[in-house]
Structure 1
Amino acid sequence: MRKALVPVDGSAAAHRAVRHIAALARLYPSMEAVLLNVQPEVEDWKVRRVLRKEEVEAIEESRGGDVLQHDREVLKAAGVRFTPQVEIGPAAETIARVAREHGCDGIVMGTRGLGAVSSMMLGSVSSRVLHLSDLPVTLVK
């Protein structure tokens, strides 16, 4: 794998996926990563009544940048080249789209994130990514 998308949400499973990429990069020094945080769209009419769409998006992107900080430090310390990115939208669909757009060879992600709803065996986002993406998906427990 030359380039991997690593979606992170601040969960322990996502942090383990980032550490997995750092370990792979020791074996494959030319490896690159796209470190992605997906923020949900705010649909609350009360928030939209007070703030403009651009203001809400700026807050979400700032929150996403905060989530990326720890994992950015892990990749920097390991010497892994990476591109941090924050997107707003439905998680699984956004992960599959960004992986395609960046020309990634695969997706490395945790099995369970911070989402409130999850299936019995896998997190609902990781399960959906498996169905949506044509790329190889490595799930890190």
Structure 2
Amino acid sequence: MNVLVATDGSKFGTWGLNWVAKLPFVVPPKVTALHVVDIASLRAPFLSQPVMAGMERYIQEEAQRMDARSAKALKEAKLQLATLKLKGAVRKEQGAIAQTILKRAPKRDGLLVVGSQGLDALDRFMLGSVSTNLIHHATCPVLVVKDAAVPLRRITLATDGSAASAKALAFVVKNFQPDTSTGKGGHVPIHVTVIHAMPFIKYPELKTAGRHLVEQNVRKLVKAGFTAEAVYQLGKPAEEIMKVASKHQADLIVMGAKGLGAIARFLLGSVSTRVVQHSSCSVLVVR
């Protein structure tokens, strides 16, 4: 699998590479650590020419600072790849952050890893802009890193019967080994909590269909070697997903990018965006 990790020299970029090393991939990934420098963002288009002229010294100083920090980030990323024994390379590009990352992101069979926050507003490597842009527009799954990497032992998988949530399940089964090392020479199965959240509605047939869906997903996971359990929740989907993840101490939330539609009102873009923005653990959004 081709994996692109967006890095800016902050702890979130460092965590991104650590996550790739910790994830139990069936096949070791080929990793590209991408560092993007957006010098043009220093020259705000809404400022008048006289104002820009007065700021030129500041802009030049800031550009030099960004270049110096870029060199440091690239050096650290190369060292980190070697230390983690990840196969891959480090790459630097200039341009608008989100657009450049999207341009270099893997296609549908790859993975894009991005930190939820970056160094500062000047780099615009922030959750409200770059990460949200990527989960909306990337053609491949996107892992938004919220915390330091740990061995993957507990996953919360959100499902609603849509094509996107089916792909989320397939991603886990196809790409992750079903067990993880204990660090003492042994292995324990990764536990997956499958959640189906429904808004407060009066259609019992939908609740029944939801239960059948979750049970089917649990069977597929168990067959693949994972341990799994079913959880059914009534309430606002995003909030219920995060509650279950917190209760079960999930290391990772996995969910689809889109849901069935207005009636199901489940894994729509607004729900996945809300989970990415407010979850305390890292989130993998699959499309």
The TM-score by the shorter chain falls in which range?
Answer: 0.7 to 0.9
The match for 1:39 is: 198
Separation in structure 2 between the aligned mates of residue 97 and residue 27 of structure 1, nearest angstrom: 25
Is 1:134 aligned to 2:285, yes or no?
Answer: no
Aligned residue type for 1:10: G
Name structure 2 gaps, 5 residues minimum. Answer: 1-151, 181-187
The match for 2:211 is: 65
Shift in CA distance, 27/2, structure 1 to aligned 2, threshold 3 Å: closer
Larger radius of gyration: 2
The aligned length equals: 124
Shift in CA distance, 27/76, structure 1 to aligned 2, threshold 3 Å: closer
Is 1:17 aligned to 2:17, yes or no?
Answer: no
SS of equivalent residue, structure 2 residue 160: coil
CA offset at residue 62 of structure 1?
A: 2.7
TM-score between both structures, scaled by the size of structure 2:
0.40
Would you say the 8 A contact 1:4–1:34 is kept in 2? Answer: yes
Structure with greater contact order relative to length (CA < 8 Å, sep ≥ 6): 1
Q: Deviations over 1:102-135 (max 9, x none)?
A: 1111101111111329xxxx71110111112111
Shift in CA distance, 101/60, structure 1 to aligned 2, threshold 3 Å: farther
Tell me whether 102-111 or 28-37 shows the greater mean CA deviation. 28-37
Would you say the 8 A contact 1:60–1:88 is kept in 2? Answer: no
Q: Deviations over 1:54-91 (max 9, x none)?
A: xx7x7664332022133223212202101111100000
Would you say the 8 A contact 1:40–1:90 is kept in 2? Answer: yes
Give the alignment of 1:1-141 within 5 angstroms.
Answer: 1-22=152-173, 23-26=175-178, 28=180, 30-42=189-201, 61-116=207-262, 123-141=269-287
Would you say the 8 A contact 1:6–1:109 is kept in 2? Answer: yes
Would you say the 8 A contact 2:158–2:241 is kept in 1? Answer: yes
Greater helix fraction, Structure 1 or Structure 2: 1
TM-score between both structures, scaled by the size of structure 1:
0.77
Name structure 1 gaps, 5 residues minimum. Answer: 48-55
Aligned residue type for 1:40: P
Separation in structure 2 between the aligned mates of residue 16 and residue 85 of structure 1, nearest angstrom: 19
Over the residues paired in the alignment, what is the CA RMSD in angstroms? 2.2
CA offset at residue 21 of structure 1?
A: 1.9
SS of equivalent residue, structure 2 residue 277: helix
Separation in structure 2 between the aligned mates of residue 59 and residue 85 of structure 1, nearest angstrom: 17
Aligned residue type for 1:39: M
Would you say the 8 A contact 2:199–2:235 is kept in 1? Answer: yes
